[in-house]
Structure 1
Amino acid sequence: MIECKKEAITKEIVDAWMNQWETFRQSIHQSHSARDGNAKEIMLKAIQLYESFVVSASVGHDVFQENEQYEILPINAVERLSFIKTRPGQYACYRQLDELFLETKKRCARLRLKL
C-alpha cells in the first residue's frame, strides 16, 4: 500500500483542492443541464485534478497507477475511477466522481487524526 503524506493532506490543502473541484463541478453540472457536449472535456480535467491530488498526497510516486493501492483512496476508488474514465461524458460518471471527491475529503480527515 502506498502511504499518505500527512503534510500533503492538511485541511488547508484539501480545502483548496475541493474548491478547484467545486469550480469543475458547477461547470460540469451546467454542461449536463444545457446538453452542450462540453461535460466530457471538463470531466477529463477534473479526473486529472483528482489523480494529481492522490499522487501528490502519496509517498514515492509521480504518476497515478491504477494497479496500486493508495492509503488515501476510499473503498473501490480505483474501480470507480476506471469506470468514470471509460465514460467521462455521462452524467452517472459525473455523480460518481463527485462522490469520490467527497469520500476522499472525508478519508483525508480521518487520516489526519490517525497519522
Structure 2
Amino acid sequence: MIAVKKEMIAKELVDAWFSKWELLREDIHAAHDRRDGSALDAMLKGIAHFEQFLIDSAESDAVFSVQADYELMPINGMERFQFIKMRPTQYACYRQLDELYKETKKRCARLRLK
C-alpha cells in the first residue's frame, strides 16, 4: 500500500484541491447540459487533477499507476477510476468522478485524525 503524507492532506490543501474540482465540475455539468460533446476536455482535466493529488499526497515518488494500492483512494475507487478513464464523455462517469472527489475529501479528513 502506498501510504499518504500527512502534511499533504492538511485541510487547507485539500480544500484548495477540492475548490479546483468544483470549478471543473461546473464546466463539465454545463457541457453535459448542452449535449454538444464538449465535456471531454474538462473531464480529462478533472481526471488528471485527481491523479496528481494522489501522486502528490503519496509517500513514494512513483508515477500514478492503476496497479498501485493508494491509502487515500476510497473503497473500490481504483476500479471506478478505471471505468471513468475508459469512458470520460459519459454523464455516468462524470457523476462517478464527482463522487470519488467527495469520498476522497472525506477520507483525507479521516486520515488526518489517525
TM-score of the alignment, normalized to the shorter chain, above 0.5: yes
Q: CA deviation at 1:62?
A: 3.7
Q: CA RMSD in A?
A: 0.6
2: distance between equivalents of 1:34 and 1:17? Answer: 26
Question: Which residue in the other structure is 1:25 paired with?
Answer: 25
Aligned runs of 1:1-115 on 2, under 5 Å? 1-114=1-114
Task: Judge conservation of contact 1:56–1:62 (CA < 8 Å) in 2.
Answer: no
TM-score (norm 1): 0.97
What do residues 4-39 of structure 1 show as CA deviations (whole Å, max 9, x unaligned)?
000000000000000000000000000000112110
Which aligned segments of 4 or more residues in structure 1 are displaced greater than 6 angstroms?
none
Identity in percent: 57
TM-score (norm 2): 0.98
Instruction: Could you tell me which runs of 5 or more consecutive residues in structure 2 were left unpaired when the two chains were aligned.
Output: none
2: distance between equivalents of 1:68 and 1:61? Answer: 12
Q: How many residue pairs align between the two structures? A: 114
Q: CA deviation at 1:90?
A: 0.2
Code of the residue aligned with 2:77 in structure 1: it is A
